[in-house]
Amino acid sequence: MTALVKLTDVSKFYGNIRALEGVSLEVHPGEITCVLGDNGAGKSTLIKIIAGLHQHDTGTFEIDGEETRLASPREALDRGIATVYQDLAVVPLMPVWRNFFLGSEPTTGAGPFKRLDVRKMRETTRAELLRMGIDLRDVDQPIGTLSGGERQCVAIARAVYFGAKVLVLDEPTAALGVKQSGVVLKYVAAARDAGLGVVLITHNPHHAYLVGDRFVLLKRGAMAGSHPKSGIALDELTRQMAGGSELDQLSHELERAPGPDVIGGRRIEPEPEESDKPGKSERVDEPEKDG
């Protein structure tokens, strides 16, 4: 079977900086391919190539078995590749229904009376979101007033509605709490079950392992591994993701490092109330609070 999207040995340079080198990846219908990597591993560069924002320098990029070089995000969309960005999926001040159809607005009438089909836009937005399980009270509210998870879902619903064959998701769960992440992953799975090929970019191996069929690991712009789900366990994925051998060394270093109680030859008294300092407890709660 031909892959929906197939990258073979793709590289990208920004001047003399190697952003990506020798990365290969396949996306099949009804499958989720997870791209994992730390900050600066080249995940965003990879996305931008698939989304048509940048062109690759070497290697091949095939869509439906046909070698291609995308000129613009518009062309990527026309070829059925929809990208949902973490932070710029939507225009916050615009109503939900305007956002839903942004860039592909349906019109009615002809000539100078050609106008937006507002009724259809509102009704479709409400219906499509409901299908994804989001029951919006008012599609006229600015999309900025929705929660982060809901906004992601609007963007995913939009891509599915516009007939995307490949859905590229950039860190969909990065800014979300545990519950919200779960909701978004459910929609990702729903999109997969609808027959879409999904590329899920994340640095969270737990989220990736929950839904992924295939895992591509990036490290400093190069490919550090590619495994089917059957070929790798969550522990191993987490370990590789966290830096593998680097992590071992780090834990070693941390063990040997002297405790922070002696600084500059002066002993610092431990504060007895440290455990209920507000700063500390807040930090633990942070992921929940975001949602």
Partner 1 sequence: MSTATTARADERLVHRGVLRRMLGRPELGAVVGAAAVFLFFSFVADSFLRASSLSTVLYASSTIGIMAVPVALLMIGGEFDLSTGVMVTTSALVSSMFSYQMTANVWVGVGVSLLTTLAIGFFNGFMLTRTKLPSFIITLGTFLMLTGLNLGFTKLISGTVSTKTIGDMEGFGSAHAVFASHLTVGGVDLQVTILWWFGLVALATWILLRTRVGNWIFAVGGGSDAARAVGVPVNKTKIGLYMAVAFCAWISGQHLLMSYDVVQSGEGVGNEFLYIIAAVIGGCLMTGGYGSAIGSAVGAFIFGMTSKGIVYAQWNPDWFKFFLGAMLLLATLLNAWVRKRAEASK
Residues that bind partner 1 in the complex, under the rule CB under 8 A: 51, 53, 73-74, 77, 83, 85, 88-94, 98, 101-105, 107, 114-116, 118, 123, 126-127, 130, 135-138, 140-142, 144-145
Q: Which is nearer to partner 1, 266 or 289 (CB)?
A: 289
Cβ of residue 102: shortest distance to partner 1, in angstroms?
A: 5
Cβ of residue 174: shortest distance to partner 1, in angstroms?
A: 17
DSSP string, the chain: ---SEEEEEEEEEETTEEEEEEEEEEE-TT-EEEEEE-TTSSHHHHHHHHHTSS--SEEEEEETTEE----SHHHHHHTTEEEE-SS-SS-TTSBHHHHHHTTS--EES-GGG-EE-HHHHHHHHHHHHHHTT---S-TTSBGGGS-HHHHHHHHHHHHHHTT-SEEEEESTTTT--HHHHHHHHHHHHHHHHTT-EEEEEES-HHHHHHH-SEEEEEETTEEEEEEEGGG--HHHHHHHHTTTHHHHHHHHHHHHSPPTTEETTEEPPPPGGGGG-HHHHHHHHHHHHH-
Q: Which is nearer to partner 1, 128 or 236 (CB)?
A: 128
Cβ of residue 192: shortest distance to partner 1, in angstroms?
A: 22
Cβ atoms of 25 and 32 within 8 Å: the answer is: no
Cβ of residue 49: shortest distance to partner 1, in angstroms?
A: 14
Cβ of residue 132: shortest distance to partner 1, in angstroms?
A: 13
Q: Which is nearer to partner 1, 67 or 138 (CB)?
A: 138
Backbone Cα Rg of the chain: 22
Q: Which is nearer to partner 1, 58 or 108 (CB)?
A: 108
Q: Which is nearer to partner 1, 114 or 256 (CB)?
A: 114
Q: Which is nearer to partner 1, 118 or 242 (CB)?
A: 118
Cβ of residue 194: shortest distance to partner 1, in angstroms?
A: 17
